[in-house]
Structure 1
Amino acid sequence: MSLEFVEYPAKAAHKATIIWLHGLGDSGEGFLPVAPQLSLPDELGVRFVFPHAPVQPVTINGGMAMRSWYDIKSMDLDKRADEAGVRESAAKVEGLINKELESGISAEKIILAGFSQGGVISLHLAPRLAQKLGGVMALSTYMCAPNKLSDEAKHTDLNVFMAHGRHDDVVPHSAGRNAFDALSALNMDVSWQDYPMAHQVCGEELMAIRQWLIARLS
């Protein structure tokens, strides 16, 4: 079953696509307001796609059903991401990427972005795809099965933008750094930014994202 989404259409001829995955309990609408805030140049022709995660029970929330890219059974970071669930959601997101490719958008003009749980999916999927994407944006996030990455990665030269809050009490700053280190160990082109914030996105970060996106898509 394909993922439902909300979109922010390109302001000119559609030339590039950013697929942006939300965090636990949110929806595609959560990051929709960011698209106009970034005010990317019209001539880049960027379309934003904000998918909705499936609704499923989440163990750490007492089994309550909510939008979630995978179950979280434990807050321990090495057990937090349910690997089977991550792979299942990654396959669904790959379906969205394939639709963009089929519509004529080249892989280097597709950016996969994600916040928190969405970032876990982005970091998992992008290096394992057959095509090399234009970049990955991993915000306030961590990595699922980092020990399997070197065996499964098809692209070790991906450009990855990582950002994290120094006061994040949901995904510790150290977890983001661990993901950065795992990517760096494979010689990926990964940059790190951190900000005096909690589990969120701040204005200064959005400015850095804007500059990075323009550089990747120009």
Structure 2
Amino acid sequence: MLLKNQLSIKHIIKKSISGNENTLFLMIHGYGSNEKDLFSFTKNLPEDFFIISIQGLYSIGTDKYSWYDIDFDNEKKFINIIQAKKTIEKISFFIHEAIKEYQLKQNPIWICGFSQGAILSYAIALKNSDKIKKVIALSGYLENSILPKKINYYTDLEFFISHGKYDPIIPVNWVKKGLKFLKQKKIFSLFYKEYDSGHTLNNINYQDLIHWIKEKHIYSDVKNKNFNHE
């Protein structure tokens, strides 16, 4: 694990075992955390993932970062929309940079975010849905005001969405509004489950997540092999 500075966003990586045809698995941490947070997942992820965990753009304390400002006391201004949109552009650009720098596959890309990172993951995936095919949104929600105006190639997106029933920061009803939006857009491959937890992942949530990743990864491998032999 090494903090990389040569691209537009600081990040840490874990290279795949295979060494070729690497699939990008991008991690986006939550507010007040850092790039090491979700990186603990790597020990349970498929070995042919090229894992990149990025560091927030704004420092808010020692080893604490954010992607945009949050007003916890104002639901209507919970998100700094201008900052969030700029961050979406920067991460989208970083994805293209990373693909070139590390010689990764253009498609599919996996994206995994927690809380603020999950909110961004929805928007980044819909903006780059020609490349991003698997979206993991943990303890976040879909924010309409930061979505791209035009969304193409989205019907083959697959989502893992989880939330704590007792989340004091992001209410469950915010998440359910996003589910309704995705279904209206005919995105039907949705795993959604609520857990007996707050603004965090409990053990059952984590086990479900790893199971979903491995199941989707195996299916994608089989599908690609069958396609290549046709």
CA distance in 1, matches of 2:99, 2:83: 25
Alignment partner, residue 101 of structure 1: 99
Long gaps (5+) in structure 2: 1-6, 222-230
* RCO higher in structure (CA 8 A, sep ≥6): 1
Q: Which residue identity does 2:25 align to in structure 1? A: I
Structure index of larger Rg: 2
Measured after TM superposition, the shift of residue 130 of structure 1 is 6.1
Matched, 1:31 2:31: no
Measured after TM superposition, the shift of residue 66 of structure 1 is 5.0
Alignment partner, residue 191 of structure 2: 191
Alignment CA distance shift 1:83-1:67 (3 Å): same
Alignment partner, residue 3 of structure 2: none
CA distance in 1, matches of 2:28, 2:124: 12
CA distance in 2, matches of 1:76, 1:185: 28
Task: Map residues 1-218 of structure 1 onto 2, 5 A cutoff.
Answer: 2-14=8-20, 15-36=22-43, 38=44, 40-42=45-47, 45-56=48-59, 67-102=65-100, 103-129=102-128, 131-144=130-143, 146=144, 149=147, 151-157=149-155, 158-188=157-187, 189-217=189-217, 218=221
TM-score in terms of structure 2 length: 0.80
Q: How many aligned positions are there?
A: 208
Long gaps (5+) in structure 1: 59-64
Tell me if structure 2 keeps the 8 A contact 1:150–1:186: no
> What's the RMSD between the two structures over aligned residues?
2.5
